[in-house]
């Protein structure tokens, strides 16, 4: 039997017990190739057996925008801050879809990948991070659709409406990052809890839909009565959606206070999510 030199620099050391704060972010960089493989797997597997394939990236937001414009714009008569209705709803749908996809898909990471997690070692955070990155592809396509629609309404303006890019466009990378990290943080918390309380899985989709109505996706913040506005502003996605609309359409209740509040809530939830996820990943196979 060979003696093992404890001073040797090993590439990987797996310990049975680790600290709650031992997240090992360096391992994420070492396994970056695996991250890209998971991203490719998610994209190919989701659309491999569909007839229209990636065209669903366009079809879903287009039909949702048409329905929202008819129900909330025509029937309910909800104002759009002087923005063409299709642009107003499409901008909200584009931002919300990326956040909600990150949240819902991350919230089932442990359940969906229990077989992989139980057989081979790799940093478990790679899996939810791959979801965040793969959803960026869909977000980019829908953002392209939004830009095309903006070009159409610029050439064919609707009377009584106006829109334009604002200086907030320089905050666009920050806005996307906040949407991704907020969805990731909440999703990590939920997936950790559902290893013991599986009923929560059935509430996620329903809860995300309710959360959308508490966010300025289908109505501008200016249309919310004063007595209820503070409750809508407590939703961290409200500041993000408003900043997104302000960046691309030049309209919205954007303030540095609101985006600062959303940033603080996002960082708190992300930190809690990573810590809870890190603790749960060590023994979730025995409970799920």
Does 106 fall in a domain? Answer: yes
pLDDT band at 55 (very low <50, low <70, confident <90, very high): confident
State phi, psi for 287 to the nearest 5 degrees.
Answer: -115, -25
Does 275 fall in a domain? Answer: yes
| CB 181, CB 41: distance < 8 Å | no
* Mean pLDDT value across residues 98-124: 81
Q: How would you classify residue 250: left for phi > 0, otherwise alpha for psi between -120 and 50, otherwise beta?
A: left
CA-CA distance, 204 to 36, in Å (whole number)? 27
CA-CA distance, 84 to 251, in Å (whole number)? 11
The sign of the dihedral angle between the CA atoms of 118, 121, 126, 130 is negative
Does 28 fall in a domain? Answer: no
Does 257 fall in a domain? Answer: yes
Question: What pLDDT digit, counting tens, does each position of 73-82 carry?
Answer: 888 888 888 8
| CB 186, CB 273: distance < 8 Å | yes
| CB 191, CB 271: distance < 8 Å | no
Does 2 fall in a domain? Answer: no
Q: What angle do CA 198, 202, 207 make, to 5 degrees?
A: 120
Does 158 fall in a domain? Answer: yes
pLDDT band at 2 (very low <50, low <70, confident <90, very high): very low
CA-CA distance, 281 to 191, in Å (whole number)? 10
Domain that holds residue 120: 60-286
pLDDT band at 1 (very low <50, low <70, confident <90, very high): very low
More confident residue, 188 or 44: 188
Question: What pLDDT digit, counting tens, does each position of 130-186 carry?
Answer: 889 989 988 998 999 999 999 999 999 888 888 888 988 999 999 999 999 999 999
Mean predicted lDDT score pLDDT of the chain: 83
Q: What is the tally of structural domains in the chain? A: 1
């Amino acid at each position: 039997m060979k003696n093992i030199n404890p001073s040797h620099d090993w590439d990987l050391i797996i310990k049975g017990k680790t600290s709650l704060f031992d997240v090992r972010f360096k391992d994420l960089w070492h396994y970056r190739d695996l991250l890209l493989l998971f991203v490719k797997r998610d994209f190919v597997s989701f659309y491999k057996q569909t007839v229209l394939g990636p065209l669903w990236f366009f079809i879903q937001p287009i039909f949702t925008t048409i329905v929202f414009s008819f129900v909330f714009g025509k029937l309910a008569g909800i104002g759009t801050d002087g923005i063409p209705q299709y642009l107003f709803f499409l901008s909200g749908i584009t931002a919300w879809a990326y956040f909600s996809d990150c949240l819902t898909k991350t919230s089932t990471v442990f359940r969906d990948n229990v077989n992989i997690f139980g057989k081979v070692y790799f940093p478990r955070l790679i899996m939810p991070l791959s979801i965040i990155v793969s959803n960026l592809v869909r977000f980019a396509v829908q953002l392209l659709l939004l830009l095309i629609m903006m070009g159409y309404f610029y050439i064919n303006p609707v009377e009584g409406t106006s829109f334009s890019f604002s200086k907030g466009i320089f905050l666009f990378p920050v806005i996307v990052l906040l949407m991704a990290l907020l969805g990731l943080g909440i999703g990590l918390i939920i997936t950790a809890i559902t290893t013991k309380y599986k009923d929560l899985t059935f509430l996620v989709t329903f809860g995300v839909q309710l959360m959308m109505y508490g966010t300025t996706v289908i109505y501008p913040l200016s249309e919310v009565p004063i007595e209820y506005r503070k409750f809508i502003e407590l939703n961290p996605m409200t500041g993000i959606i408003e900043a997104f609309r302000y960046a691309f359409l030049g309209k919205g209740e954007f303030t540095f206070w609101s985006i600062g509040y959303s940033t603080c809530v996002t960082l708190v939830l992300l930190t809690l999510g990573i810590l809870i996820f890190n603790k749960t990943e060590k023994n979730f196979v025995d409970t799920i």
